[in-house]
């Protein structure tokens, strides 16, 4: 028995200490049922590796010969059932035939589990994802514990399910819903899984043994596909639905950048009516996807996220956060911290911004929380604090006032005398060096930068900015705090623009230079989107706020001068006239209900050129190399991760430095030289390219 929260995990009879298996525990109970517990050696969560599959094959041989009354499959890990495949085994794959051979061996084992001539039941708690869900689908019955979550996240890795999930899932449940889950990578809870027919019962931990007996001895009504499933899986209907699926997929991701969704749709359209054919074709399709640059780069991104999580360390000491400035950033930072179980006080000079921030928080919680009581509790943790009394008890104060040095220093002068000993003072500045901000502080060692990105609830990166006078323990605590609120920290040394804004500024200013050249703003945005960016630089400038873009550009120009495109005079006029972008309803685009009105589609004569794309994206790689050379960030992988998680830089390209590496450093520098000759010295390659590998 293991403790899962305040529940007890029903793991069947006590395992034999002399078990011959490293990653499994196999026992029998008084009813003659075999209980097979997944328990991967040396890991906190179960993932399916080649050695686990091989060991499972041996166990199936034993079960075929001993013929128990039934088989119950569970996880011995409190973290959940099986979190999916061991992604480490996907890295560096380059031979599709070798991948297909390997996946074929795993297929044979899962097929063998499905073919067992005894009742088989999977009992699922926690996460049941990817390959774990494919194991469960091979069982005759599935029992979910309340709180379990199910999904196929393979599309996030540039893949689709590869252990028979495409065939079994689309036959068991409504194929439209099954395909939607596989195409989006979304997870569903136990009750939704029951409604779909993915699981046969949802129960509480204390009732597991009775539910298992009902399943094994035929008393549990199993979910079975109905006539609608047969109709939707018929060839004519598959053809129509597949066409619609491709149209929807194209809105989110073009085939050339993200081939996995289209491969999955092709697989179902061609073979959805024939399980055996689909299982066979799935192996080939999966293997072909595995060796694509898109999949290998997305797998790389998975590991970049894991590396950045480790930077947070552990031992968070922050419980009470006080945020000063209830504008778009400050209010959303406060809301996110409250969502992550922090006690938060939110201060501003006027009540109206605080009220607006609370309203936005309520809207956010309603979207991302499933229970009304959770929404209520999160709002209870977010306390309006017009008088700023929260400063006295806060473990962390986050200043998020406008980007003006004198204003920030004035705020610090009022804060510092009343902060409690050991409290951290953090600034959300996007560009001002901490060396300037600390000049008037009595204890500059406790000032750090915590630079969040907009929108806070979606962009995972937080730049943790240090200066040369920091207390190392303060930095350690700041990193742990970022991890505690489910964000990814990037340690960065203080310098104008830090990493992300320094890299993004030439991208957006170059787009404005193109506007001066009378290139249509939609063509400019289309160039970036064709490369794979989530939105173009013109739309991004509107999202960020043209006033912020102008302030950051001016700040960076004082340090980097001719390395940046000049700021157009008309941009200052727009800002002076109150055309700030999305937040005012008008910038480069008109905005309504949070969306830019881009008018009619572009004509074929307005298609972006390769030169336009290079002008936009290569300066980002150039700045990233400069930041690496200067030691602003000391790790090229972390630079790539920061640009992906902080800006949405095309994930399938693996980051701006990985893109340069894959394109070829010589090609990149030659292209930059050519652009410098044509457009100016701002394109001169950085000296860091000489040592970049």
Q: What is the pLDDT of residue 18?
A: 60
Structural domains of the chain ordered from first start: 2-291 (3.90.226.10), 313-494 (3.40.50.720), 501-691 (1.10.1040.50)
**CA gap 515, 231 in Å, rounded:** 52
The one catalytic residue among 10, 55, 100, 154? 154
Q: What is the pLDDT of residue 13?
A: 73
How many other CB atoms are found less than 10 A from the CB of residue 498? 28
463 within 8 A of 498, measured Cβ to Cβ = yes
Q: What is the pLDDT of residue 560?
A: 86
**CA gap 66, 90 in Å, rounded:** 35
Structure tokens at 547: 């006033």
Which pairing describes strands 382-384 and 343-347: parallel, antiparallel, or unpaired? parallel
In degrees and rounded to multiples of 5, residue 622 shows phi and psi of -65, -45
Q: What is the pLDDT of residue 149?
A: 96
Q: Tokens 């149209």 map to which residue?
A: 247
Q: What is the pLDDT of residue 15?
A: 59
Q: What is the pLDDT of residue 447?
A: 96
Q: What is the pLDDT of residue 483?
A: 97
For the entire predicted model, the pTM comes to: 0.91
The one catalytic residue among 10, 134, 205, 579? 134
Task: Return the beta strands (E) in 435-496 as ranges.
Answer: 447-452, 461-466, 488-493
Task: Name residues of the chain where pLDDT drops below 50.
Answer: 1-7
Q: Tokens 């929404």 map to which residue?
A: 375
Q: Is 134 a catalytic residue?
A: yes
Sign of torsion, CA 381 382 387 388? positive
* Rg of the chain taking only CA atoms, in angstroms: 28
Q: Tokens 């075929």 map to which residue?
A: 64
Three-state DSSP at 588 gives coil
Distances (CA, A) of 348 to 195, 266, 335, 390, 395: 46, 54, 15, 12, 19
Q: Is 403 a catalytic residue?
A: no
Q: What is the pLDDT of residue 558?
A: 83
Angle 235-252/259-271 helices, nearest 10 degrees?
Answer: 170
Q: What is the pLDDT of residue 225?
A: 85
């Amino acid at each position: 028995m293991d403790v899962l929260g305040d529940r007890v995990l029903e793991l069947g009879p006590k395992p034999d200490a002399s078990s011959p298996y490293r990653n499994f525990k196999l026992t029998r109970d008084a009813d003659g049922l075999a209980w097979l517990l997944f328990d991967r050696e040396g890991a906190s969560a179960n993932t399916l590796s080649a050695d686990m599959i091989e060991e499972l094959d041996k166990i199936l041989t034993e079960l075929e010969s001993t013929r128990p009354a039934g088989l119950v499959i569970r996880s011995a890990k409190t973290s959940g059932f099986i979190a999916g495949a061991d992604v480490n085994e996907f890295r560096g794959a380059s031979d599709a035939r070798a991948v297909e051979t390997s996946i074929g061996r795993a297929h044979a084992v899962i097929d063998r589990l499905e073919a067992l001539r005894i009742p088989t039941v999977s009992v699922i708690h926690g996460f049941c994802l990817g390959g774990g869900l494919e194991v469960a689908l091979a069982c005759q019955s599935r029992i979910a514990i309340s709180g379990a979550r199910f999904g196929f996240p393979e599309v996030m890795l540039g893949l689709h399910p590869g252990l028979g999930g495409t065939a079994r899932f689309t036959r068991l449940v409504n194929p439209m819903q099954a395909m939607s889950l596989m195409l989006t990578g979304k997870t569903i809870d136990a009750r939704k899984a029951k409604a779909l027919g993915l699981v046969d019962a949802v129960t509480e931990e204390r009732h597991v043994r009775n539910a298992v007996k009902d399943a094994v001895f035929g008393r549990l009504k199993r979910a079975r596909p109905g006539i609608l499933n047969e109709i939707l899986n018929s060839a004519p209907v598959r053809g129509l639905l597949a066409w619609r699926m491709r149209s929807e997929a194209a809105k989110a991701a073009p085939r050339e950048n993200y081939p996995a969704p289209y491969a999955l749709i092709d697989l179902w359209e061609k073979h959805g009516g024939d399980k055996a054919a689909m299982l066979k074709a799935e192996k080939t399709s999966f293997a072909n996807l595995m060796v694509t640059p898109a999949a290998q780069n997305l797998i790389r991104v998975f590991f970049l996220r894991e590396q950045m999580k480790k930077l947070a360390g552990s031992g968070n000491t922050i419980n009470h956060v006080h945020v000063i400035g209830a504008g778009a950033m400050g209010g959303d930072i406060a809301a996110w911290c409250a969502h992550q179980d922090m006690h938060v006080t939110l201060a501003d000079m006027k009540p109206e911004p605080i009220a607006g921030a609370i309203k936005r928080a309520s809207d956010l919680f309603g979207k991302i929380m499933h229970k009304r009581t959770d929404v209520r509790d999160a709002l209870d943790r977010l306390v309006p604090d017009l008088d700023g009394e929260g400063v006295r008890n806060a473990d962390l104060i986050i200043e998020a006032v406008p980007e003006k040095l004198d204003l920030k220093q004035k705020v610090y002068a009022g804060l510092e005398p009343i902060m409690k000993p050991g409290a951290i003072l953090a600034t959300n500045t996007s560009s001002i060096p901490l060396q300037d901000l600390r000049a008037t502080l009595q204890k500059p060692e406790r000032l750090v930068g915590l630079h969040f990105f907009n929108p806070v609830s979606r962009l995972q990166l937080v730049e943790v900015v240090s200066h040369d006078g920091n207390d190392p323990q303060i930095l350690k605590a700041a990193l742990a705090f970022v991890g505690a609120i489910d964000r990814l920290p990037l340690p960065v040394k203080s310098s104008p623009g830090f990493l992300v804004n320094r890299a993004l500024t030439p991208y957006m200013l170059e787009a404005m230079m193109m506007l001066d050249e009378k290139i249509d703003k939609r063509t400019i945005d289309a160039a970036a989107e064709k490369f794979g960016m989530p939105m173009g630089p013109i739309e991004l400038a509107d999202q960020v706020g043209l006033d912020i873009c102008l302030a950051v550009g001016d700040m960076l120009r004082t340090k980097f001068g001719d390395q940046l495109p000049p700021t157009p005079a008309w941009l200052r006029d727009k800002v002076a006239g109150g055309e700030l972008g999305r937040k005012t309803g008008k910038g480069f685009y008109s905005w309504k209900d949070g969306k830019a009105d881009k008018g009619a589609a572009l004509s074929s004569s307005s298609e972006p050129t390769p030169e336009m794309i290079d002008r936009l994206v290569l300066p980002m790689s150039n700045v990233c190399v400069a930041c690496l050379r200067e030691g602003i960030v000391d790790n090229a992988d972390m630079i790539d991760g920061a640009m992906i998680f902080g800006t949405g830089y095309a994930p399938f390209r693996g980051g701006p430095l990985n893109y340069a590496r894959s394109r070829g450093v010589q090609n990149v520098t030659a292209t930059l030289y050519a652009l410098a000759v044509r457009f100016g010295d701002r394109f001169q390659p950085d000296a860091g390219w000489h040592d970049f590998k």
